[in-house]
Structure 1
Amino acid sequence: MRIDSPGLTTDLDLLRLQGSTVTDHGDHLVVRTDANPTFWWGNFVLVPTEARATEVDRWVARFEQEFPEARHRAIAFALAGGDTDAWAGHRWEVDVDVDLATTDLPLPAEVPPGIPALRAGSSPRALSSDDDWEQSAQVGARDTPEPQLEERLVFERRRVAAQRELADSGRARWFGAFDGDRLVARLGIVRLGGLARYQDVVTLASHRRRGLAGALVRAAGQWAFEDPAVRQLVIVAEDGGPAIGLYRRAGFVEVARHVGVSRPPV
């Protein structure tokens, strides 16, 4: 089954590298991550069309058939548009993601005057130690309500373990901005042949608008382009979200859109 979105195709490549299975059923794909069953977008159904009002029941039933033990529901559509209101009307969350790409090194972010980037002596660097990776899991679980925090940390630590294996293999690198010894922003990038895909761009609310994400995006791009096979950098952002403007200012341009619909655990 053909998927043209570079965001989705690199998602699938990354999942396979981390041990997920992708099964082609002709008119849809089933993605399964047995090592992390609470990973919504590691356990989902991918449809190559736009969302259609007439197919809500069909795809919900298909998901439930494939994942009978799952508490969540997650279905991706490779094309934007369609009748997403039909899904929202059934109380599904609808997210439109934008694929952005560049063949050039991202431009550095502008920092508002008078705002320090980091404490003196601190700088962005690659994650390496056990503490670095544990802090990355903690950053991933930020803002989680206390009753759900333990479960969320289990999920984040499983995901971080897979990311660390990728980094140890040489295919990827995760970068962090540290304020003293505290991780306050992080992202990853993975080389996938001619493409390099950014992952998990997060900055703590206390350290936003300091140019940290932009500095990490540029540092990761520099590392990716050290491989002469890499011709293009790909990043995915939520349509209308706060990050998309940053990426556009850094030189990324929109190349595709796609939709994800989901329902939280019940």
Structure 2
Amino acid sequence: MFFHLNGGTKVVYERYECSRSGLLDDPTFDLPTHLIPRPLRPIGSRFLVEWVPLPRGANLGEDERRQFFVSNTRVLVLAPSGQGAPCYAPGMSRTPRSLGYRTDLALRVQAGAEVEDHGTYTVVRSPANPTFWWGNFLLLHEPPRPGTLEDWQARFREAHPGAAHVTFGMDTADGEAGAAAEFQAAGFRLDRNTVLTTARTTPPAKPLPEGVTLRSLETDADWDAALTLRLAVNAADERPSEEAGYRTFAAQRLAGLRAAQEAGHGAYLGAFLEEQMLAGLGVYSAGGGVTRYQNVETHPDWRSRGLAGHLVHFAGEWARARLGAHTLVIVADPEYHAQRLYERVGFRSTEVQTGLERPPAGG
């Protein structure tokens, strides 16, 4: 289907069951200037375009022109009502039911992951970070049935032949895990994490420590400080990962998040005392006004001082102002204190995100 922008360039508009985000190769839209609050800033030879649903009750005829508006590097296209929630990931013909995995996939793709829909499961690959368990996994569209363990392991090996780990996500929202006991008997761990959401965070009661500033990472030195923080957090863990391997993983993970920031998807934010990064997190758009937090962590020497709460609130306000966020999403281990911290700044439990993982031998 084609449509015109006030008599300008003819643009292809594809009909999907859901809206989507993506990068267009041809940044030559002839947009009327009154729809552009600031000049377009292409991302290389492309720019980001995102389809978002029209307000409830609004209906456009098939031949009516769609409306465009621009914010930073994002071009928003108002799509017809009834197209459903955003797909979030190119390569998928269905939208995950799980908000946790839906936003996971969106952010993985921003960081360079590949997504393939195979009908009953989705393959997720992160070529730049092959040791990232949850960047290289299968998302099962239904919980595994009894007697399917070997079949699923074979499909994982086919999709990830060089992987030492095995990870399966389950596209459910209520913690349903099917025949997970069979997987657990074969050495898998069953993880159930809480997906929390809010429209807006509330500021913590405890004041920010004197001299600490909250800001986005901009320079190479900032990103080096983020890596130093990640290494310190790992070293203090009860079961730390092997240092050299973790350094490689963490550096690759941060590189993907930096690329997503530079492409206009969001930002990595930190609590700094002069040049030292004391706490950090990422906050990135998953499309359709949904924004997801990533990697909330605080230096072991600076915990219990209110840094994480202030940074989570700061990130929420940043996302509302810069990304147009109306739903903030964060995921937490229900047995860890972080969930209570998130609840104190306004988050509430929405779903349960379920997965099965088997670490590499000796991991």
Name the TM-score, length of structure 2 as normaliser.
Answer: 0.67
- Asked whether 1:249 is paired with 2:339, we answer no
Matches within 5 A, 1:14-33: 14-33=107-126
Given the alignment, which residue of 313, 321, 325 partners 1:218? 313
Give the one of 185, 190, 195 matched to 2:290: 195
Please tell me the root mean square deviation across aligned C-alpha atoms, in Å. 2.0
Structure-1 separation of matches of 2:304 and 2:228: 21
- Aligned partner of 2:222 in structure 1 is 132
Match of 1:161 in 2: 255
Question: Is 2:277 the counterpart of 1:183?
Answer: yes
SS in 2 for 1:143: helix
Gaps of 5+ in 2: 1-93
Match of 1:143 in 2: 234
Describe the shift of the 1:226–1:62 C-alpha distance in structure 2 as closer, same or farther (beyond 3 A): same
Is the partner of 2:139 in helix, strand or coil?
A: strand
CA contact (8 A) 1:5 1:99 kept: no
1:209 and 1:146, CA in 2 relative to 1: closer, same or farther beyond 3 A?
Answer: closer
Distance in 1 of aligned mates of 2:257 and 2:218? 12
Kindly provide the CA deviation profile for residues 56-106 of structure 1, in whole angstroms up to 9, marking residues without a partner as x.
2221221112111111111111221334333222221221111111112x1
Please give the secondary structure, in 2, of the residue aligned with 1:200: strand
Which residue does 1:54 correspond to in 2?
147
What are the superposed Cα offsets for residues 143-174 of structure 1, whole Å, 9 maximum, x if unpaired? 34898211211111111111111222222111
C-alpha separation in 2, matches of 1:186 and 1:228: 19
2:110 aligned with 1:13, yes or no? no
8 Å contact kept, 1:138–1:153:
no
**Residue equivalent to 2:20:** none
Pairwise CA distance, 1:11: 0.8
- What is the deviation of 1:52? 4.2
- Residue 170 (structure 1) aligned with residue 170 (structure 2): no
Distance in structure 2 (CA, Å) of the matches to 1:146 and 1:98: 23
Q: Kindly indicate whether structure 1 or structure 2 has the higher relative contact order, using CA contacts under 8 Å at least 6 residues apart.
A: 1
* Bigger helix fraction: 1
Rounded to whole Å, the distance in 2 between the matches of 1:77 and 1:100 is: 17
CA distance in 1, matches of 2:142, 2:240: 38
What are the equivalent positions in structure 2 for 1:63-74 lying under 5 Å apart?
63-74=156-167
Match of 1:99 in 2: 195
Aligned residues: 260
Q: Find runs of 4+ consecutive structure 1 residues off by over 3 angstroms.
A: 144-147
Over alpha carbons, which structure has the higher Rg? Answer: 2
Cα shift at 1:201: 0.5
Find the counterpart in structure 1 of residue 326 from structure 2.
231
2:215 and 2:271 in contact (8 A); partners too: yes
Q: Match for residue 212 of structure 2? A: 122
Residues in 2 aligned to 1:171 and 1:217: alpha-carbon distance in whole angstroms: 17
Structure 2 letter corresponding to 1:96? R
- TM (norm. structure 1) is 0.90
Name the CA distance, whole Å, in 1 between partners of 2:220 and 2:245. 20
157-166 or 85-94, larger mean C-alpha shift: 85-94
> Residues 51 and 179 from structure 1, CA distance in 2 versus in 1: closer, same or farther, beyond 3 angstroms?
farther
My pick for the range that moved more, 209-218 or 168-177, is: 168-177
Identity of aligned residues (%): 34
- The structure-2 alpha-carbon separation of the partners of 1:45 and 1:228, relative to structure 1 and needing over 3 Å to count, comes to closer
8 Å contact 1:178–1:184 — kept in the other structure?
A: yes
CA displacement at 1:256 relative to structure 2: 1.4
* Residues 108 and 48 of structure 1, relative CA distance in 2, 3 Å threshold: same
Structure 1 position 53, deviation (Å) = 4.2
**Offset of 1:228 from its aligned partner?**
7.0
Q: Per-residue deviation at 1:107?
A: 1.4
